[in-house]
Chains A and B, each alone.
Chain A
Amino acid sequence: MTVLARGDDPPQTPPALGGTPSPQTPLAFRAFQCWLTVYRRIWRSSVWSSVLGPICYLGALGFGLGTLVDKHSTASLGGVSYLAFVAPAILATGATNTAMAEASYPVFGSMKWNRIYNGAQASPLRPADIFHGHLMFMIMRIAMNCAVAILVMWAFGAIKSAWVVLAFPAAVLTGLAFAAPIAAWAVTVKIANSFNYVFRFGLVPLMLFSGTFFPLSQLPAGLRALAYVTPLWHGVALCRAFSLGTAARDPAGMLGHAAYLAVLAAVGIWAGARTYRRRLYV
Chain B
Amino acid sequence: MSYPPASLDQVLERPETEVLVRARGLTKKFGSFTAVDGIDFDLYRGEAFGFLGPNGAGKSSTMRMIGCVSPPTGGELSILGRDPVKDGSAIRARLGVVPQEDTLDMELTVRENLLVYGRYFGLPRRVIRERTAALLEFVQLADRARDKVEPLSGGLKRRLTIARSLISEPEILILDEPTTGLDPQARHVVWDRLFRLKQRGVTLILTTHYMDEAEQLCDRLVVMDHGRFAAAGSPRDLIARYCSPEVLELRFDPDLHDAAADKLKDFSAERTEVLADRILLYVPDGDAALAAVRAGGLEPLTSLVRRGTLEDVFLRLTGRRLED
Contacts and interface: CB of A to CB of B under 8 A. Distances in A.
Contacts of A281: 69-71
A124 B93 contact: yes
Nearest to A24: B122
A199 B157 CA distance: 36
Interface in B33-82: 64, 67-78
Given A21-B89, A22-B93, A119-B117, A280 B107 contact: no
A19 B90 contact: yes
Contact of B95 (A15, A37, A122, A126): A122
Contacts of B73: 4-6, 10-11
A125 B76 CA distance: 23
Interface string B84-106: 11111111110101010101111
B76 A1 contact: yes
A204 interface: no
A181 B99 CA distance: 30
B119 A34 contact: yes
Contacts of A24: 122
Given A3-B75, A119-B103, A123-B92, A22 B122 contact: yes
A121 B69 contact: yes
B116 A33 contact: yes
B31 A22 contact: no
A116 to B, nearest CB: 6
Nearest to B113: A119
A9 interface: yes
A215 interface: no
Contacts of B103: 114-116, 118-119, 122
A53 interface: no
Given A10-B30, A38-B108, A4 B89 contact: no
Given A30-B119, A37-B108, A122 B31 contact: no
Interface in A82-131: 114-116, 118-126
B29 A8 contact: yes
A122 B97 contact: yes
Contacts of B77: 1
Interface in A1-56: 1-6, 8-11, 14-22, 24-25, 27, 30-31, 33-34, 37-38, 41
Contacts of B87: 19-20
A191 interface: no
B83 interface: yes
B93 A122 contact: no
B99 A118 contact: yes
A282 interface: yes
Contacts of A125: 89, 120
A37 B115 CA distance: 9
Interface in B273-301: none
A15 to B, nearest CB: 5
B31 A10 contact: yes
A124 B90 CA distance: 6
Contacts of B104: 114, 119
B302 interface: no
A279 to B, nearest CB: 11
B120 A124 contact: yes
A116 B89 contact: no
Given A5-B73, A34-B116, A116 B105 contact: yes
A45 to B, nearest CB: 13
A122 B71 contact: no
B236 to A, nearest CB: 32
Contact of A41 (B72, B101, B107, B115): B107
Interface in B248-288: none
B92 A14 contact: no
Interface string A141-182: 000000000000000000000000000000000000000000
Contacts of B84: 17
A15 B90 contact: no
Contacts of A1: 76-78, 83
Contact of A17 (B68, B101, B121): B68
Contacts of B106: 114
B88 A3 contact: no
B215 interface: no
B71 A30 contact: no
B45 to A, nearest CB: 20
Contacts of A120: 120
Contact of B99 (A9, A15, A122): A122
A122 B67 contact: yes
Contacts of B147: none
A3 B76 contact: yes
Contact of B86 (A8, A19, A124): A19
Nearest to B24: A1
Contacts of A2: 83, 85-86
Given A19-B86, A38-B108, A126-B89, A30 B75 contact: no
A67 to B, nearest CB: 44
26 contacts: A1-B78, A3-B76, A4-B74, A8-B29, A10-B29, A15-B71, A19-B87, A33-B119, A37-B115, A38-B105, A41-B108, A114-B104, A114-B107, A115-B101, A118-B103, A119-B105, A122-B99, A122-B103, A122-B165, A123-B168, A124-B92, A124-B121, A125-B89, A126-B88, A126-B89, A282-B64
Given A114-B105, A118-B103, 4 more contacts: A11-B71, A17-B68, A121-B69, A122-B92
